[in-house]
Amino acid sequence: MAREKIIIDTDPGQDDAVAILLALAAREAIEVLGITTVAGNAELERTTVNALRIVELAGRPEVPVFAGCTRPLLRPLETAKHICGEDGLAGTDLPPPRRAAEARHAVDFIVETLLAAGNGEVTLCPIGPLTNIAMAIVKEPRILPKLRRIVLMGGAQGLGNITPSAEFNFYVDPHAAHVVLTAEVPVVMFGLHATHQALASPPRLAAITALGTPIARAVTGMLSRHRPDAIEKFGGPGHPLHDPCIIAYLLWPELFQGRDCHVAVELESREAIGRSTIDWWNRTRRPPNAHVIGRIDADGFFARLTEQLARL
């Protein structure tokens, strides 16, 4: 069976780091063509350094990293350092990378890679704000037939995590999210309502810790940071692994359930900008533009994630 060719677009971020590690561990099933970085959880310089640190931690220095957009399309950048730490990867204690990012801009890498691919050959995996992806689509619409699908983390069916109504990635660049969701390409969407089910509870984290590897120690460091609002928000202690769900979906789609829906992103309201309106019950009768995941087999997800991390 041919490996799925993917590009990971990311703003590491602790859960981004685990997603990258999972993709690099699953080398028999996934071919990571490149990692592109975007400003989001931290500024672009930091997210790019973090991507390089993670690639080196995984022992995969051949995977290229490309720096992308420094800010959202139309809004000033807001980061998540209050969650991810000043450098975006609090808890890892990783050394500086030994190499720099590639010279090519991330958007150019995405466009050129897709134009050189066959139709339906590459999957984009954006796990940060969608700025790079939207820029690539606007710059060169001919890339759209080349895409097998876009599997993204963003949005929410209910409450937000950065404002009362908006999830962080869509809030940071709502206009980019709108561009992606209105492009004619298959989209699989993981919102907060799904990813909050993938909670790295103490028993699940203990199983990773027990691996005793440098990877396990780094992941444990990232995910064992105290989060005082966890019980109130998630129903138990721990950090939700939003972004690794994207890679897990490529590997084990049977762990996830969802339905085709129309999704719109709020662009006008000052109070609700970035909110994703998911027509779960098809009230508007508008054509679906995303397959929205609603349920996750969290125990199966963590068991398989732990098995894969043991391979690095």
Q: From the CA atom positions of the chain, what is the Rg in Å?
A: 18
Pairs from 59-64 (Cβ < 8 Å, separation ≥ 24): 59/312, 60/24, 60/32, 61/98, 61/99, 63/24, 63/32, 63/34, 63/35, 64/34, 64/35, 64/102, 64/109
- Single-letter amino acid code for the residue at 101: A
At 83 the pLDDT is: 76
Residue with tokens 């995984």: 58
Alpha carbon distance 54, 95 (integer Å): 10
- The domain in which residue 133 lies consists of 4-309
- Average pLDDT value for residue range 221-238: 69
CB proximity list for 251: less than 8 A, separation 6 or greater = 22, 26, 29, 30, 304, 308
Alpha carbon distance 71, 77 (integer Å): 5
Domain count, the chain: 1
Instruction: Specify the CATH number for the domain of residue 103.
Output: 3.90.245.10
- Average pLDDT value for residue range 261-265: 98
Looking at every residue in the chain, the average pLDDT score rounds to 94
pLDDT at 212 over 60: yes
Tokens of 195: 């990813």
At 2 the pLDDT is: 84
At 226 the pLDDT is: 63
pLDDT at 40 over 80: yes
pLDDT at 231 over 80: no
Among 76, 86, 19, 82, CA closest to 49: 86
DSSP string across 16-27: HHHHHHHHHH-T
At 89 the pLDDT is: 81
Write the DSSP symbol of residue 261: E
At 228 the pLDDT is: 57
- Average pLDDT value for residue range 38-58: 96
- Average pLDDT value for residue range 145-172: 96
pLDDT band at 288 (very low <50, low <70, confident <90, very high): very high
Residue with tokens 């590897």: 213
pLDDT band at 234 (very low <50, low <70, confident <90, very high): low
With b meaning 16 or more CB within 10 Å and e meaning fewer, what string describes 28-56?
A: ebbebbbbbbbbbbbbbebbbbbbbbbbb
User: How many CB atoms sit inside 10 A of residue 273's CB?
Assistant: 18
Q: How far apart are the first and last CA of the chain?
A: 22
pLDDT band at 238 (very low <50, low <70, confident <90, very high): confident
pLDDT at 144 over 90: yes
pLDDT at 37 over 80: yes
Alpha carbon distance 142, 140 (integer Å): 5
Of 178, 193, 242, 291, which residue is the catalytic one? 242
What's the pLDDT tens digit per position in 54-103?
999 999 999 999 999 999 999 999 998 877 777 768 667 789 999 999 99
- Average pLDDT value for residue range 4-17: 96
DSSP string across 102-160: BSS-HHHHHHHHHHTSPTT-EEEEE-S-SHHHHHHHHH-GGGGGGEEEEEEE---SS--
| Whether 242 is catalytic | yes
Q: Is the distance from CB of 167 to CB of 174 less than 8 angstroms?
A: no
- Average pLDDT value for residue range 176-205: 96
For the four alpha carbons of 249, 255, 258 and 263, in that order, the dihedral sign comes to negative
At 13 the pLDDT is: 86
